[in-house]
Structure 1
Amino acid sequence: MARYFDVHPLNPQPRTIAQVADMLRDDALIAYPTDSSYAFGCSLDSHTGADRIRSIRHLSDKHHFTLVCADFTQLGQFVTLNNVAFRAIKASTPGAYTFILPATKEVPRRFAHAKKKTVGVRIPDHPVALALVRELGGPLLSSTLLLDDADQVTDGWQIKEQLDHVIDGVLDAGDCGSEPTTVVDWSSGVPEVVRVGLGDPSRFE
């Protein structure tokens, strides 16, 4: 049964954030709020989290996981950026964008794309997500909380009801909507918008 945490969306309680970070260090899989929708998250050191996300979402090994980072300095540890990408991405973060870039050696091989050796990265514009990543001291391995259309959920309590026995915790910060991030693939050196979502894609087109 998943533990349930009711957190303030703008000023998350530090004690609650610390409790959830401890769970993540202990290999937990959680649902947490972002600026676009709720997402699944686990520690980068998790041995089970990625497979559990794949199982829940019915994903293949071609799925791009996302590393949710606290700031641009942290993001730069896990991906390689050219000067153009650096400027464009820095100007767009924090925000509702996911960027696919070549992974550095800091990214465990099992979390990078099997063939392309790329990984998604993003810095969300949401106080709870940022507080959690800062408290954890490293990025969250993450994937949008997308279920079947009929089962789409936008509130933490709904996630608790539907996924109670397959995840370990839920941070409920109220309704986050259900529109995922805009995904921009920079792996070839130039931007390609591969999914139009909440973030304005025009700056990358």
Structure 2
Amino acid sequence: MSSRLEVHPVNPQPRALHQAARCIADGGLIVAPTDAGYSFMWGIEALDAEHRVLRLRALDTRHPFTVLCSTISQIGSLSKLDDRAFRIIKSLTPGPITFILPAGADLPRRLKQTKRRAIGCRIPDNAVTRVLLDTVGSPLLTTSLVLPDEPLDNHEAEAVAEGSLRHVDLMLDAGDCQPGPTSVLDLTGDEPMITRQGFVELELD
């Protein structure tokens, strides 16, 4: 049976975050708030959880999921992060921005299996997600809460619970959050390129 844990949006209760972290460690799939809507989250090596997301969202196995990180150092462990990219990311995080970077040589085994040449990473500006990442102690895979047959307002907690709770193992309910989507900034080329403007418009100097 799925669990719905209510947490404070600014000072989330440690007990609930530890329960969510245990669920992830056991290979579970959760829904949690971010600074760009509620999202699916699961451990990088949790293949069963990933397959559940692929079925729920009607995606193929080549879909490039985003990696949620708590620090730029974590992003650097997953990607080839040069000085320019580091400065840009530092100036824009935390926030609702996904950075596309060349994949690093030391990717976790599961990500190496996808043969990624690029990887999307972000550091969210949401207290619940940030504490969750710190509690888990490692990056998480994530994707937007978009169900093709069940359109829902993925930033409204009650709508998210009604539409997704039966599909996941646990929901961290912190009330309504910012709607999303994230902006996407491609840092793989010679110049940074905004490939998607999110709900907070991104401007580069």
**TM-score normalised over the length of structure 1:** 0.90
User: The residue matched to 2:78 in structure 1 has which SS?
Assistant: coil
Deviations 1:167-186 (A, max 9, x none): 11110111113221001111
CA RMSD after TM alignment: 2.0
Tell me the CA shift for residue 102 of structure 1.
Answer: 1.5
Gaps of 5+ in 2: none
Deviations 1:43-68 (A, max 9, x none): 11212122221211112233221111
Residue 65 of structure 1 is matched in structure 2 by 65
Q: Name the amino acid aligned to 1:67.
A: V
Gaps of 5+ in 1: none
**Shift in CA distance, 27/54, structure 1 to aligned 2, threshold 3 Å:** same
Runs of 4+ aligned structure 1 residues displaced above 4 Å come to 112-116
Between the two proteins, the alignment pairs up a number of residues equal to 204
**Shift in CA distance, 187/115, structure 1 to aligned 2, threshold 3 Å:** farther
Q: Name the amino acid aligned to 1:200.
A: E
Query: 2:68·2:139 contact (CA, 8 Å) conserved in 1?
Result: yes
Worse overlay, 86-95 or 191-200: 191-200
Quote the Cα distance in structure 1 between the aligned partners of 2:38 and 2:102.
Answer: 25
Residue 26 of structure 2 is matched in structure 1 by 26
1:127 aligns with 2:146: no
Tell me the CA shift for residue 109 of structure 1.
Answer: 5.7
Tell me the CA shift for residue 103 of structure 1.
Answer: 1.7
**TM-score normalised over the length of structure 2:** 0.90
Quote the Cα distance in structure 2 between the aligned partners of 1:192 and 1:109.
Answer: 29
Query: 1:72·1:90 contact (CA, 8 Å) conserved in 2?
Result: yes
Instruction: Give 1:53-202 correspondences, 5 Å limit.
Output: 53-108=53-108, 110-111=110-111, 114=114, 116-148=116-148, 150-202=151-203
Q: Name the amino acid aligned to 1:63.
A: H
